[in-house]
Amino acid sequence: MSRVNTLQALFKRYRRPGDIVFAWIILIVALLLLAQLYDQTAWRKGGPLFAQPRFWPAVSLTGMAGFAALHLLGSALSERIQGRWQEVWLWLSSLEYAGWFIAYAAVVPYAGYLPATVLFAVALALRAGYRRPAALAGAAVSAGVIVLLFKTLLKVNLPAGRVYEVLPDGLRQIMLTYF
């Protein structure tokens, strides 16, 4: 094997179908952050360069923009890989779980920690494709155990649900304390 072939093999990189989209996104984010640098950081007169509050953010964002531009250039000059938009769709579909978490955090103050946790555990099990009653019961039981661990054992202070206000006095106190 010749020296040229060895270097080409050494520097050959595996490319994902969506790498040009990723390069564009990172370059745009880096340039937007770099454009905000003057307003968001300060420059102190008379201080040493490396101690300036603006210096290290400027270095990191300039590096981020430069390397993103090189990545974009390398992706643009490389052969086109099929499946770019399927890869991008995969990235976007993963944001669904962030939506589930935001919905869960919005429901907890109203439904309470225990009901919301059990509801979302079962709903996510259904979303993941589990349909057997044993699997759904397992999700509900594990959610209950998680609630007990957090509220009782770890004493994590979580918001009580508004639904607890309609419970009878004794049950309400138990629910507020342990669930």
For residues 110 and 161, is the Cβ–Cβ distance under 8 A?
yes
Domain containing 136 equals 95-178
DSSP 173: H
In this structure, are 160 and 104 located in the same domain? yes
What pLDDT is recorded for position 80? 79
In this structure, are 126 and 65 located in the same domain? no
Rounded to 10°, the helix 96-111/113-127 angle is 150
In this structure, are 46 and 100 located in the same domain? no
In this structure, are 155 and 114 located in the same domain? yes
Cα distance from N-terminal residue to C-terminal residue, the chain: 68
Spatial distance between the Cα atoms of 6 and 165, rounded to a whole number of angstroms:
72
What pLDDT is recorded for position 130? 97
What pLDDT is recorded for position 70? 93
What tokens were used for 133? 């009653």
In this structure, are 62 and 137 located in the same domain? no
In this structure, are 87 and 149 located in the same domain? no
What pLDDT is recorded for position 170? 84
In this structure, are 65 and 100 located in the same domain? no
What pLDDT is recorded for position 151? 85
Ordered per-residue pLDDT tens for the chain, 179 residues: 566 666 666 666 666 778 888 999 999 999 999 999 888 887 778 777 787 878 888 999 999 999 999 999 988 887 777 888 888 898 889 899 999 999 999 999 999 888 999 999 999 999 999 999 999 999 999 999 999 898 888 888 877 788 888 888 888 888 877 77
Looking at the structure of the chain, the number of domains it has is: 2
What pLDDT is recorded for position 2? 63
In this structure, are 10 and 88 located in the same domain? yes
Other Cβ atoms within 10 Å of 30 Cβ, number: 20
| DSSP H helices in 18-112 | 19-35, 37-40, 55-77, 84-93, 96-111
In this structure, are 104 and 174 located in the same domain? yes
What pLDDT is recorded for position 20? 87
For CA atoms 147, 148, 149, 150, give the dihedral sign: positive
Q: Which of 92, 123, 150 is the last residue of a domain?
A: 92
